[in-house]
Amino acid sequence: MAQSYNPMPCGRSRREFLWETGGGFGSVALSGLLGSNWLANQSRAADGQNDNPLLLPAGGGLQHAPRAKSVIFLFMYGGPSQVDTFDYKPNLYAMDGKTIDVPTFGRQGKRGGGRIVGPKWKFRPYGQCGKMVSDLFPYLGECVDDIAFLHSMYAESPIHGSAILNMNCGRIISGHPSLGSWVNYGLGSENQDLPGYVVMLDESGGPISGAKNWTSGYMPASYQGVRLRTEGVPILDLAPPRGVNAGVQRALLDHLGRENKLHALKRPGNSELEARIAQFELAYRMQSAAPEAVDMAQESERTREMYGLERQETAAFGRKCLLARRLVERGVRFIQIYSGGGHNDDNWDAHGDLVTNHTRHAGRTDQPIAALLKDLKQRGLLDETLVVWGGEFGRQPTAEYAEGTGRDHNSWGFTMWMAGGGIRGGVSVGETDELGSKAVRDRFHVKNLHATILQQMGLDPNGLSYFFNGLDQKLVGVEGAAPIHQVIA
């Protein structure tokens, strides 16, 4: 039988073979000619410099027709409370102040019960679908017919640091590439003059662990997120020093490129080096492309008003949302915007006064996000742009302390939503229990969310892999995860 024949006559193990052939670009170009099945099941190399083999003409490498070209991930850092936003629990109001036995797990550890904090906002129906939305989001309420709500999300950790890595990189430990890196690794950047992965932070600062949340992990550095600022210089350290004109800079880069290529000749397959050369060149091109992308003066007065740029409360987040649309138009694959940063009430982490905290953060984001959805839609962009909203976890139905309305973290059940990019609108899937405490029906792990995003981008979530440390690493883990088919149009 053929199968019994030793396929490694030269004495190499399969693993060695993969190390040797899987690491070079040549074998990938070949693989590009072999068709999608092969790609779906193989790790592939990426040196961060050469054209992405998945986009080679003869390969047509997308694993299926993509529904979305870009992702805008609106990260509500700190963890918004589901029962106060989109997960309507009408019976919870009357239970306000009552002590109840319900297991919870937050930063205070595991508890057996506590004092119920009733929802602090009234809910009212919106749209054709009649979705109940809390009074925190009167503008977003007008968009529910384009939104799919995922009410039964759960994550692996109720602690910010590990949970945010879970949401961004698929694991609760650091060192793994983030979602935006996977998307750019799988599809390549469309715009050669802008980074394919952009991150915009809150004015109060970055989230816990900082750049680990947009790292490319073990992938080449060219896949990491680039921080873009909406005021002042868009990208720090991009402008050349004084006295260095374009000619001098070009000559310097050309010389550096020659030296680096000589250096690289002796170190074939060194992706870090190749990525660095590519980054120098990208930075050079971005010097003109980035200021143009962030130039809001090109936007009409009506657009600026719609995003809330004229109101102090919404101006900062509004600028980021408007910039996100401009980046989508310029082919940027993955854009992440943080609402909330720093510590305590600078983000959605409402341990103390829930009303003050959520009023503040919803007030700053409601109109800009609704404007983003409407604006994408009126330009025909929502069809191909996947918008994702959510935090690293949700919050408990019970109070954290003896006094007050503060809620502790809750990774056992929380709400996220998706819109556009081939997602069905006006639907709600999954359920938490009657307290909104724990996902109980059609539960969706963070991995399922990631799988859905990859799927909509035209990638096979269980096929997209990167060979590292002897494993075909995947965003959704080697066990795999199914996309959330209930929300896919």
Partner 1 sequence: MKIVQVLMALLFCGGLVQAQDAQLLAQALQNRCVHCHGPQKSKARLRLDQAAGLRSVVVAGEATESELFRRVSLAADHEDYMPSKGEGFGDEELLALLRWINTGADADAVARAASKLRGAAEAAALLVSVGAASGTRITPLSMDPAGDLRVDYSLAKSPPSAEQLAALAPLAERIVELSLAGQQGVEASLASLPTLAKLERLHLERTGVGDASLAALIAGSSQLRYVNLHSTAVSAAALSDLQKLAKLERLVLFDTAIEAEQLRAIHDALPELQVTAELRLPGKPFSHGGPRRLLAADASKGRIALLRETALKHWEVLWEHPIQSIHDLHELENGNVLFQSSWTQILEVNPENGELLWSYDAATQNRALAGEAVEVHAFQRLAAGVTMIAESGPARIIEVDRAGKLLRSMPMQVEHPSAHSDTRLVRVTDAGTYLVAHERDGWVREYQKAGSLIWSYDVPLFDREPAGGHGPEAWGDQVFAALRLAGGNTLIATGNGHRVLEVNPAGEIVWQLTQDELPGIRLAWVTTLQVLENGNLVIGNCHAGEGQPQVIEITRAKDVVWSFQDFERFGNSLSNSLVLER
Site residues for partner 1 per CB under 8 A: 2, 5, 7-12, 14, 17, 21, 26-27, 30, 33-36, 55-58, 60, 65, 93, 118-122, 124, 135, 138-139, 142, 190-192, 306, 329-331, 355, 358-359, 366-367, 370-371, 374-375, 377-380
Name which of 17 and 401 has its Cβ closer to partner 1: 17
Nearer to partner 1, 156 or 383 (CB): 383
User: Residue 232 and residue 219: Cα distance in Å, rounded?
Assistant: 31
For the CB of residue 42, give the shortest distance to partner 1 in the complex, in Å: 10
Pick 203 or 329: Cβ nearer partner 1: 329
Output the smallest distance, CB 191 to partner 1, in A.
5
* 140 neighbors 370 (Cβ within 8 angstroms): yes
Question: Which of 202, 188, 177 minimizes the C-alpha distance to 340?
Answer: 202
Q: Which is nearer to partner 1, 392 or 460 (CB)?
A: 460
d(CA 24, CA 1): 32
Please list, in sequence order, all residues whose beta carbon lies within 8 angstroms of the beta carbon of residue 4, skipping any fewer than 6 positions away: none
Q: How far is the CB of 405 from partner 1 (least distance, A)?
A: 9
**CB of 208: closest distance to partner 1 in angstroms?**
27
Element (H, E) at 456: helix 446-456
Nearer to partner 1, 380 or 470 (CB): 380
CB-nearer residue toward partner 1: 52 or 162: 52
- H-helix or E-strand containing 489? none
At closest approach, how far in Å is the CB of 138 from partner 1?
3
Shortest approach of partner 1 to residue 60 CB, angstroms?
Answer: 5
**Residue 300 beta carbon to partner 1: minimum distance, rounded to whole angstroms:** 8
**434-462 residues labelled b (16+ CB within 10 A) or e (exposed):** ebbbbbeeebbbbbbbbbbbbbbbbbbbb
Cβ closest to partner 1, residue 27 vs residue 209: 27
Q: Please report the DSSP string for 107-133 in residue order.
A: TTEEEEEEEB---SS-EEEETTTTEEE
- Give the nearest distance from C-beta 262 to partner 1 in angstroms: 23
- Round to whole Å and give the CA distance between 312 and 152: 34
User: Could you please report the per-residue DSSP string of 322-387?
Assistant: HHHHHHHHTT--EEEEEE--SSGGGTT--SS-HHHHHHHHHHHHHHHHHHHHHHHHHTT-GGGEEE
Rounded to a whole number of angstroms, the minimum distance from the CB of residue 377 to partner 1 is 6
- 31 or 166: CB nearest partner 1: 31
The Cα 392–Cα 161 span in angstroms is 9
Coil, strand, or helix at residue 402? coil
Nearest distance in Å: CB 6, partner 1 = 10
Closest CB to partner 1 among 375 and 408? 375
Say if CB 68 and CB 418 are below 8 A apart: no
Nearer to partner 1, 51 or 272 (CB): 51
CB of 136 to partner 1, least distance (A): 8
User: How would DSSP label each residue in 158-222?
Assistant: SSHHHHHHHHHHSSSSSSSPPHHHHHHHHH--S-TTS-SEEEE-BTTBPPTTGGGGG--TTS-GG
Would you say 279 or 367 has its CB closer to partner 1? 367
DSSP states along 254-315: HHHHHHHHHHHHTSTT-HHHHHHHHHHHHHHHHHHHHHHHT-GGGS-HHHHHHTTTTSHHHH
Positions of E strands within 5-79: 70-76
Residues contacting 173, CB < 8 A, separation 6+: 162, 165
